[in-house]
Structure 1
Amino acid sequence: MNNVIFLIMRRMRAPLLVLISVYAVSVIGMTLMLGIDSNGNVWYMNFYQAFYFVSYTATTIGFGEVPYAFSDAQRLWAMIVIYLTVIGWLYAIGALLSLLQDESLRRVLIEHRFSKTIRRLREPFYLVCGYGDTGKALVHALETRSIRSVVIELEQSHLDELSLENFAVYVPHLCADASKPYYLQEAGIKHPYCAGVVAITNNNLVNLHIAITAKLLNPAITVICRVEDQKVAANMTSFGTDYVINPFEVFARQLQTTLHAPTLHILQQWFTGKWQKNLMTDLKLPRQGLWVLCGYGRFGKAVYQELKDEPIQLVTVEATPSEMGAPKGEYVIGRGTEADTLKEANIEQAVGLVAGTNDDVDNLSIVMTARELNPNLFIVLRQNLADNAIIFEAAHADIVMQPSKIIADYIWILLTTPLLELFMTLAEQEDETWLIALLERLQQTVATSQPILWEVTINAKATPAIINAIQAGRTPTLQHLISRPRERSERLKTVALLCQRETETLLLPTDNLPLQLNDRLLFCGTQSAVKWMSWNLKDDFVLYYLLTGNIPSRSYLGRWWQKGV
């Protein structure tokens, strides 16, 4: 607000001085003009009368000549007052209108309203720096979980799209350079309810600046950064950035997981709500034979590093191998959009194709040309821009890799269910038989519903009933947590995936596991199971019934009667 007042006073200084001068000269002049009253006596206006006359004259109200009819001298000066004040007001109003259209003032007012909105927040929120394709997908995902977010974006056109979104909760946003600490402070980086900062701009150095600023101003919050450069990633990691995400490496790991453990890939897709086919349907991704990799940029290198040690043959197609640093293996010079180049890479004998350039048109052209030469190819297609989703769906590729979507899904998991990443890491060490059994169990439990993932931390705030039972000498177990509050012999439609403790991490914990303080549990189940479980966690009477089988009365008189009986 001080900046707003300062800017207004600075821009309106000259017009105000002109108005003050005009009023001063007009009032003083009126007091000096000789007048004649109704009795023929000489009189002069006092300052109050003169100011009163000038006030209604300058505003064109015109009450007339008061308190007496004016003399010629007074009327002459009154005419001078009229023109002086009109000119003064025209100048002042023109300056005011110009000020209202001034970009600097509009900017200051927007920043003031934004910072005021942030200061009033009384619930946890995440600061999202960058509202491109990734930011848009992430904010949408957070809104579906009713998680507040605050957005800083450099391009106003992107924020215009945000303003048109029909979110249930208003998303505060500011058009500013997120690499500047001042704007991060305005966005609430030091706010007590700021739960984390997500730096997902399209500039690696900007993301680095955001990460450094966040860790210096508020070391306690979680910092998640997108990066596509190994040196910048190492720099971020060196000063404690919590999560450094390279979308190409994430996808390359997913592709390798699909090769080795297709069931785990299906499980991951199901957890994130992207798998629409039958759970037990395999992608049938070729694990042997020739693969053609078109494009050896950041994406191509990440895929190559993950697949080079696999029992498959890789042929790379790159237009500028000297600039990109061609791999040691076999490669062909070209873009891959021409049939001759693909034939040179033996596309007709290949089993798989990765179209991974940074141009969507080239990638689609590669796919169309390759299919004409080999209709049986397994196709991995890179999509760079979210706006091209319609034409990429029409391409019917087996796997479509969109970096912004991959990052948004990965960050969404880290923010909402961070234990899921730990679960997936542990599940990778299990064999296919174990994974298939888990999928079948989940499918039977959740049935046709969309699976819901949620975490529970055993503490006084989140689970007061559990803590009270432990302090009373009882031993609540996982079984009591997943039982129906109205019928303890029935189970909720949920599966406990993980239990993390200070000393150990339990994968698929058993029902008789005793619950301890600070246990972190990961569940997968239906939406109704989430609601029913909240009763078990927070209602002492419900938990007492689950522990003992007895239904306690909720009234003092009833409990006294039950105790006596």
Structure 2
Amino acid sequence: MRKVYRLSISLLFILIIYSLIFMFLMSLEGQTQNVNFPTAVYWVVETITTLGYGDIVFKTIPGYFFTVIVALSGLGILWAVVLPLGVTPSLERMIRAAPVSAPEKMADHIIITGYNPIAETLAERFSLLKIPFLIIERSEETTKAIFRKYPVLWGDPSRVEVLQKANIGSARLFIANEKDELNAEVILTIREISNIEIIALVDDFARSRFLRYAGASRIISPKTLLGTFIAMVTSPPMKNVFPGAIKLFGDLLLVELPIFPGAKLIGKRLEEKNLQDTGAAIVGIWERGVFHPSPGPEEVIRSNSVLMTVGSIEQLSAIRDLTIGTRKEGPQIILGYGDVGKRVSTVMADCGINPLIVDKRDLEDKAFAHISGDATEEETLRQAKIMDAVGVLIMLNQDSDAIYATLLAKNLNPNAFVVVRANHVKSAEKIYRAGADYVASLPIVASHMLAKIIQDEEVELDLLYEDLELKIFQVGKMSRLAGKTLHELDLSGRFGCKVVALEREGQALAVPDPKTRIFSGDILALIGSSMGVEAFSKAYDRRQTLKKRLANLR
């Protein structure tokens, strides 16, 4: 309002000045009939708006110059003032209006309620898999911010008309991705008009029965899975149990093995005899969140890195013994006792470990060791004796707090194995830079679980890696792969992919030699980036069938 007031005063001032100059010049030319204020205002307005009827004109050079100045200033006012304040906002409102209906002819799509880190990761994954989807978002501002990137509809998903505008009648699946109370309301509304399959995401399985009563077809808890995975990865290993293992061919598994402080492999090269004797093959190394595929024999294993390894249970057990080493005695500390922290604590207790819990809330009624305090304060961590800890598991709800707690933990105890929960995928890199040894992302876990359900696969504790995928590919009779060696194909150089296992006539081979020749009927297990696997599929898989995906836990 103040801007409009100042603009009005400025325009009035210009009008008066131009009118006075007009009357002065007209008097010099002797056109006394035009020397009056109404005529002056009339001429200034028609000239400054570039209408120029031509009924009143100057006859001298100074008058011509003044006419040009007034006309140009009118153009300046038009472009600098009128368009930005009047026309442009109206056009922007028209262009940026939040969409209130699904794209035309959208069908066989997946509907997601609520835009959050989980929905964002799902959207990226569905886009990659070319699965049609639509997000229903309650916030108009959020809808405007993302509608150019993802198909989105602004509205309340608990309203029948909004669901109908989302083409729920032709949708294949509905994902309830909001708070439990909102999910319940939405599910009840859906069941009034549709029998569509509904997957509801919950923080705690204890509340799942209420959503089932409302009509949810399936309940999943990404936080429960994430907590279980973190606890099992950081707890002492159980015989023949590998959290997150992916079964390849025969008895071959693909697993990731963290290198704990004090492990025998630290400082060793991959060509070392004791490593070769295990029979397991290292196909990649994670270091601070960066994946290094196809490491060479001279690659040195560093503390707190993670090995991606292929082998049988016996081979993996042998190499895991080298990654653990002699772990010193000391407590495990969990920072944060929310849904994920509670699950981590429960699973660790089942494994015979009694961690110390640090949480802001008063946990006096709990039967485990705990300290009430802020995990982002050094005094609290010292009180928890973090300097003596073997492992620190940071399960805080805010990534900014997790980053700061990681910095404190690593500063107070550089040798502790620090595992951090990331609530946003993009925060993982910062958490690694802060000193974390292992970061698990909640949105990635959730998106993976849902993607597997949608692709009719079993939901397990599979390993998933950010922007890393696994493709199981059968070589056909007419395939251009047949008859060539892996060296000749140069899949690593062309696509950034690596064959980690091969099955031929029922026999499984881990990490085949570059001289290995590919024949029709062979089944390859190939890992690479999302773009690399997609490029490989376009080049060699005419059917574009991805039987299994390995994407994103990191």
- 1:373 maps onto 2:412 in alignment: yes
Q: Distance in 2 between matches of 1:212 and 1:312?
A: 42
Q: Which of residues 99, 110, 129 in structure 2 aligns to 1:145?
A: 129
**Structure-2 change in CA distance of 1:244 and 1:535 (3 Å):** closer
Structure-2-length-normalised TM-score: 0.53
Q: Which of residues 255, 265, 271 in structure 1 aligns to 2:230?
A: 255
Q: Distance in 1 between matches of 2:382 and 2:479?
A: 67
- 1:402 maps onto 2:395 in alignment: no
- 1:414 maps onto 2:450 in alignment: no
Corresponding residue of 1:314: 355
RMSD: 4.5
Q: Offset at 1:206? A: 1.4
Q: Offset at 1:189? A: 1.3
Q: Offset at 1:374? A: 1.2
For structure 1, the 5+ residue unaligned runs are 1-96, 166-170, 428-448, 456-480, 494-507, 514-521, 538-565
Corresponding residue of 2:50: none
Task: Kindly indicate whether the alpha-carbon contact (under 8 Å) linking 1:321 and 1:333 is maintained by their aligned counterparts in 2.
Answer: yes
Task: Kindly indicate whether the alpha-carbon contact (under 8 Å) linking 2:232 and 2:347 is maintained by their aligned counterparts in 1.
Answer: no
Q: Distance in 2 between matches of 1:136 and 1:303?
A: 25
Corresponding residue of 1:226: 201
**Structure-2 change in CA distance of 1:353 and 1:411 (3 Å):** same
Q: Offset at 1:230? A: 4.0
Q: Offset at 1:345? A: 2.0
For structure 2, the 5+ residue unaligned runs are 1-85, 247-253, 257-282, 293-306, 310-318, 487-501, 508-522, 527-532, 546-554
Q: Residue deviations 1:147-176, cap 9 Å, x none?
A: 1111110122322332343xxxxx432111
Corresponding residue of 2:52: none
- 1:301 maps onto 2:342 in alignment: yes
Task: Kindly indicate whether the alpha-carbon contact (under 8 Å) linking 1:125 and 1:195 is maintained by their aligned counterparts in 2.
Answer: yes
Q: Residues 18-57 of structure 1 correspond to what in structure 2 (within 5 A)? A: none
Task: Kindly indicate whether the alpha-carbon contact (under 8 Å) linking 1:155 and 1:175 is maintained by their aligned counterparts in 2.
Answer: yes
Q: Offset at 1:394? A: 2.0
Q: Which of residues 286, 290, 309 in structure 1 aligns to 2:331?
A: 290
**Structure-2 change in CA distance of 1:492 and 1:126 (3 Å):** farther
Q: Which of residues 462, 485, 510 in structure 1 aligns to 2:478?
A: 485
Q: Distance in 1 between matches of 2:343 and 2:208?
A: 14
Corresponding residue of 1:279: 308
- 1:205 maps onto 2:243 in alignment: no
Aligned-partner residue type, residue 198 of structure 1: I
- 1:135 maps onto 2:113 in alignment: no
Q: Distance in 1 between matches of 2:141 and 2:94?
A: 20
Secondary structure of the corresponding residue to residue 484 of structure 1: coil
Task: Kindly indicate whether the alpha-carbon contact (under 8 Å) linking 1:355 and 1:381 is maintained by their aligned counterparts in 2.
Answer: yes
Secondary structure of the corresponding residue to residue 340 of structure 2: helix
Task: Kindly indicate whether the alpha-carbon contact (under 8 Å) linking 2:228 and 2:347 is maintained by their aligned counterparts in 1.
Answer: yes
Corresponding residue of 1:60: none
Aligned-partner residue type, residue 158 of structure 1: T
Secondary structure of the corresponding residue to residue 316 of structure 1: strand
**Structure-2 change in CA distance of 1:327 and 1:510 (3 Å):** farther
Q: Residue deviations 1:375-410, cap 9 Å, x none?
A: 111112233355645532421312223333332232
Structure with higher Rg: it is: 1
Q: Residue deviations 1:435-470, cap 9 Å, x none?
A: xxxxxxxxxxxxxx9644479xxxxxxxxxxxxxxx
Q: Offset at 1:292? A: 0.6
The count of aligned residue pairs is: 352
Q: Which of residues 141, 145, 160 in structure 2 aligns to 1:181?
A: 160
- 1:358 maps onto 2:351 in alignment: no
Q: Distance in 2 between matches of 1:536 and 1:300?
A: 40
Task: Kindly indicate whether the alpha-carbon contact (under 8 Å) linking 1:294 and 1:300 is maintained by their aligned counterparts in 2.
Answer: yes
Task: Kindly indicate whether the alpha-carbon contact (under 8 Å) linking 2:229 and 2:243 is maintained by their aligned counterparts in 1.
Answer: no
Q: Residue deviations 1:3-32, cap 9 Å, x none?
A: xxxxxxxxxxxxxxxxxxxxxxxxxxxxxx
Task: Kindly indicate whether the alpha-carbon contact (under 8 Å) linking 1:379 and 1:397 is maintained by their aligned counterparts in 2.
Answer: yes
Aligned-partner residue type, residue 175 of structure 1: W
Q: Offset at 1:184? A: 1.4
**Structure-2 change in CA distance of 1:384 and 1:523 (3 Å):** same
Secondary structure of the corresponding residue to residue 183 of structure 2: helix
Q: Distance in 2 between matches of 1:230 and 1:212?
A: 19
Higher relative contact order (CA 8 A, sep 6+): 2
Q: Distance in 2 between matches of 1:237 and 1:313?
A: 34
**Structure-2 change in CA distance of 1:391 and 1:486 (3 Å):** closer
Q: Offset at 1:108? A: 11
Task: Kindly indicate whether the alpha-carbon contact (under 8 Å) linking 1:492 and 1:529 is maintained by their aligned counterparts in 2.
Answer: no
Corresponding residue of 2:372: 333
- 1:196 maps onto 2:234 in alignment: no
Task: Kindly indicate whether the alpha-carbon contact (under 8 Å) linking 1:383 and 1:401 is maintained by their aligned counterparts in 2.
Answer: yes
Task: Kindly indicate whether the alpha-carbon contact (under 8 Å) linking 1:378 and 1:398 is maintained by their aligned counterparts in 2.
Answer: yes
